[in-house]
Structure 1
Amino acid sequence: MRRNSRTRRVLRPLLTGIALLPVALAATTAHAAGYRFGTKSAAAEGTANANGAEAADASTLYANPAGMTRLSGWNFSGVLDYLDAKARYTDQGATISLPGSGLQPRPTGTVGDSFTVTKPAAVPHLYATYRASEQLSYGMALFVPWGTKLEYRDDWGGRYNLQRVELKSFSLNPNVAWQTTPELSVAAGVNFQYMEGKLRRAVPYASAYTKGLLGAAQQAAAGGAPALALQLQQQAAAVFGDKSYDGSIAVNGKDWSLGFNLALLWEPAAGTRLGLSYRSAVKQKLKGHGDWTQPATLPATVLAAVTGSPYNGTTALDHNDSDASVSVTTPDSVSLHGFHQVTPTIAVMADYTWTHDSKLKQLRIDFTSTTPDSITPEHWKDSSQVSVGAQWKALPALLLRAGYSRDLSPVPSATRSPALPDAHRSWAALGANWAVTDSASVDMSFGKVRLKDAAMNATDDGEGETPCNCSFGTARGNFNTKATLFGVQLNVKY
């Protein structure tokens, strides 16, 4: 009784923190870095995600929920990750062009201009499991599966491709696990996934103005006024690429959708476990609104043209506010993992995860008005991650961990875009678990992530589709990205 009383006193403030995690989630999912948020627990992060078959606490719900059958009674894990990511972009000659005009591309930035597009992020996750009988266990997970927030300067060279993007998500994931034999457990779950997205980019209304001037020049030449035609052509050349005529388009949308997950965990011999888990793709249609902003400097005749309806491919752009949607399918993935207790104090582990990222062919914004779709080509490839790790029980109450991971990016260099400028990465991690009492422990992790330098040469040309709601801006530059990851996790069992 004395020990239980002491446990409650030690854990009271920590348990209060766990209770507040769902509230914190709504405030912090906006800061998740990267499209796939690859960290879900500090215990896993200490091995660079190699511990999928360990099943030592409630966070096994994400990596392999079949591991719930190894936990007795009630188990809770609350996680807080802090990611200090530094993605630095350097301009290498961004331009804008106007096909069919005869005008040369204009520079939109300054070669060598460099700035950071990311900020630190704090992201929580929460897990709970209950063993109802010898064979049956239940669990509930609340975690952040996907997210990104990139903020470019409003006047950067690739502003006609993107100025800022933000993706929030969270998953509510109930699971059930069944121990079919003493050696084998299976699990299944339902994934209720919420996603919300926002993006904004500049619109080069100088291009529409230029087209109008060139059209007027052709009419003047045909009408026998060569001097006027020349004057209009010179004016068009002066207007083209002038950022004082920039407007913007901002799009937002959100959606709930469903997916599922399956898992098994097999222990062929004491201390040796093999696991397999699958998470399904989730199809979502983020429905929201598209808001166009035209510059005050635009002549009234040009403004009338760009807001005219319907769009006919030549004289009007129909840039009027309207409902809009973006279809997103988050990819399915398969993970194979193993764990082996080499000695009573030393264990080794590994994980291989394959992700069906080739589902992402393009990002298409569908406007319900007659405005043509906005299309960004992606053409991703399937990706894979290999992780290896080890842990050492240095003291009865202290477990030390280490791990290394290599993640092959799905993003081809040819279609790398400002919205998703991913690259191959490596991750080195250290971690520790401290048993505060018999029923509570704390995990801590530290990691360094380094991405391969990534070149970008992305042109907003709608992949050649017509009609095209394109800027013909080319974002040309290089990304240098690295990150430091800290994780802390509280585990409580009853």
Structure 2
Amino acid sequence: MSKYLLKLSLVAAATAMATGQAHSAAFQLAEQNATGIGRAYAGEGAIGDNASVLGRNPAAMTLFDRPALSVGATYINPAVDVEGKPTQRQAAGAALTGSPTSSQDIADDAVVPFFYYVQPVNEQWAVGFGAFTNYGLSTTYQDNHYAGSVAGKTSLKTLNLNPNIAFKANPHLSLGAGINAVYADAELIRHAGIASLQVNRQTAGQPFATSLAPGSEFVRLTGDDWGYGWNIGLLFEADEHNRWALAYRSKIDLTLEGQYSSALPQLPNNQSLAPGLPVGTSGISQPGKLDLSLPAMAELSGFHQVQPDWALHYGMLWTEWSTFKELRALDPQGGTYFDKPEGFENSWRMSAGATHQLNDQLTLRGGIAYDKSPVPESARSISIPDVNRTWYTLGATYAVNENLNMDASFAFLDGKKVDVQENDFTFKSGGDAYLFGVQMNYAF
């Protein structure tokens, strides 16, 4: 098969997975629980109001004196639009083929579930287990989009299985550690756009080949892998009303192995689509793999019970995106198809929130956060261009009885529109997102 074609498709896959806007920096997800949404995830590692805290800081499991369970899900509803700014030639090609140049709601809706369980062993030791996700994205464009070679469908899903252990060293200090087993599954589909029409006419010197009509699928890449890492945390309690937490989660290296397929047209008169491509290429299918790293992160959290019915929280999350230096794709024999440099920078997220105990049954929350993108202007992609965003959140807990309570939360993420230059295409892209979370917490 042509290494040029596999390189083209894998670069598109790598770019999409590396720069897709999720709901935190780049393709990072913050939605490890629903309770925290209500306070914009401020103070997450230090509060410990239910078992979901182990997803942010394992040391906080020592706050529990009986077994605790938390399960729930977050519904993510992005509203991201991409407006094409075609050149005169691109506009003529789009008009000729009936290809749309703009797309609405390209980021797909998603439901992100989670599960946590904490088991105190004695007054000093506790163990726990969490199943959640830290990374993911899903975007879909029209099959006949005029920039089909950089649009199409892109999906990255991950699951983190995270057993943890915690030790209370003294009345003020607790330590925790865990192991992370992360499963990742990716899919890329690309369709022919107007660029394919131009290539045919320039190189074949004849009318556009119907087998590569705009909208026809010509690239599909799928792959999955398991990766492993670790996490640690500490909790410092000045007293029962003031505590701080520091947690760290390591980088996870993945090699997504799967299948690459391509369906290119047969051209008459023994002609090639472009220099270096085989004559009459069609029906390619063979294994391919792509290296991908999920970056390390560190989080500082604070919690202060300032009044019997009021608490304040704050936090800062740092993600080491600068280690995301390249995306390297290999053929089955270990040869390099491409080695694509990345320009990512370390990012941070700052949050502040408050909790008000209205009465014995109802607790109210509110929060605000600022999330800085790690993607510089030169590295933006329409799948999806990452932007700085501000979170505005509300949440509540209703205590059914002394053992059972229910959480509900809402967040509005305000994302600005930015210009994107990708290959020969120019776009204006961006938008907002809405999060709705529900969670059940039970203390045995």
Q: TM-score, normalised by structure 2?
A: 0.85
SS in 2 for 1:251: strand
2:59 is equivalent to residue 66 of structure 1: yes
1:332 corresponding residue in structure 2: 296
2:30 partner amino acid: G
CA offsets per residue over residues 300-344 of structure 1, 9 Å max, x none?
6236x78xxxxxx73538773211111110000010110000011
How far apart in 1 are the matches of 2:429 and 2:196?
28
| Deviations 1:35-62 (CA, angstroms, capped at 9, x unpaired) | 2121111111110010321011100011
What corresponds to 1:406 in structure 2? 370
**Distance apart, 1:450 and its partner CA:** 1.2
CA distance in 2, matches of 1:411, 1:47: 26
Aligned equivalents of 1:371, 1:158: Cα separation in 2:
29
Q: Which residue of 2 aligns with 1:12?
A: none
Q: Matches of 1:366 and 1:87 in 2, distance apart?
A: 33
**Residue of structure 2 in register with 1:368 after alignment:** 332
Counterpart residue number, 1:302: 271
Q: Which amino acid aligns with 1:75?
A: A
Contact 1:427 1:448 in 2 (8 A): yes
- In structure 1, distance between residues paired with 2:369 and 2:210: 45
Measure how far apart 1:72 and its partner are.
1.5
CA distance in 1 between counterparts of 2:219 and 2:92 reads: 21
- Pairs aligned (count): 411
The Cα of 1:366 is off from its aligned counterpart by 3.1
Q: Distance in 1 between matches of 2:301 and 2:92?
A: 50
Alpha-carbon separation, structure 1, partners of 2:135 and 2:425: 25
The CA RMSD measured in Å over matched residues stands at 2.8
The letter of the residue matching 2:116 is: Y
Deviation at 1:361, TM superposition (A): 3.5
CA displacement at 1:206 relative to structure 2: 4.8
Q: Does 1:291 align with 2:255?
A: no
Aligned-partner SS, 1:46: helix
- TM-fit CA distance, 1:371: 9.9
Alignment map for 1:156-175 (pairs within 5 Å): 156-175=145-164
Question: Structure 2, unaligned stretches of length 5 or more?
Answer: 1-20
* Structure 1 position 122, deviation (Å): 1.3
CA distance in 2, matches of 1:112, 1:257: 38
Residue 478 of structure 1 corresponds to: 428
1:372 deviates by 7.5
Structure scoring higher RCO (CA < 8 A, sep ≥ 6) equals: 2
365, 379, 385: which one pairs with 2:343? 379
1:251–1:114 CA distance, 2 compared to 1 (3 A): closer
Q: List alignment gaps of at least 5 residues for structure 1.
A: 1-31, 96-103, 214-234, 307-312, 460-473
The alpha-carbon distance between structure 1 residues 458 and 369, as it changes in their structure 2 partners (threshold 3 A), is farther
Q: Which residue of 2 aligns with 1:133?
A: 122
User: Letter of the aligned partner of 1:314 in structure 2?
Assistant: G
**Aligned mates of 2:124, 2:87 — CA distance in 1:** 61
Indicate if the aligned counterparts of 1:346 and 1:392 stay in contact, CA closer than 8 A.
Answer: yes
Separation in 2 of the partners of 1:105 and 1:199? 24
Partner of 2:227: 257
Note if 1:442 corresponds to 2:406.
yes
Instruction: Give the Cα–Cα distance (whole angstroms) in 1 for the partners of residues 363 and 345 of structure 2.
Output: 38
Aligned-pair CA distance for 1:374: 5.7
Distance 1:71 1:201, change over 3 A: same
Structure 2 letter corresponding to 1:87: V
Q: Are 1:80 and 2:44 matched, yes or no?
A: no
The structure with the largest alpha-carbon Rg is 1
1:281 aligns with 2:231: no
CA distance in 2, matches of 1:201, 1:455: 22
Is the Cα contact below 8 Å between 2:164 and 2:176 reproduced in 1?
yes
What are the residue-to-residue correspondences of 1:219-238 with 2, within 5 Å? 235=205
Distance 2:87 2:146 in 1: 5
Q: CA deviation at 1:162?
A: 3.0
Measure, in 2, the Cα distance between the counterparts of 1:337 and 1:42: 17
Alignment partner, residue 347 of structure 1: 311
CA deviation after TM superposition for structure 1 residue 106, in Å: 7.9
Which stretch of structure 1 is more off in the superposition, 345-354 or 263-272? 263-272
CA, structure 1 residues 370+293, in 2 after alignment: closer, same or farther (shift >3 Å)?
farther
Distance 2:90 2:110 in 1: 38
Q: Which residue of 1 aligns with 2:396?
A: 432
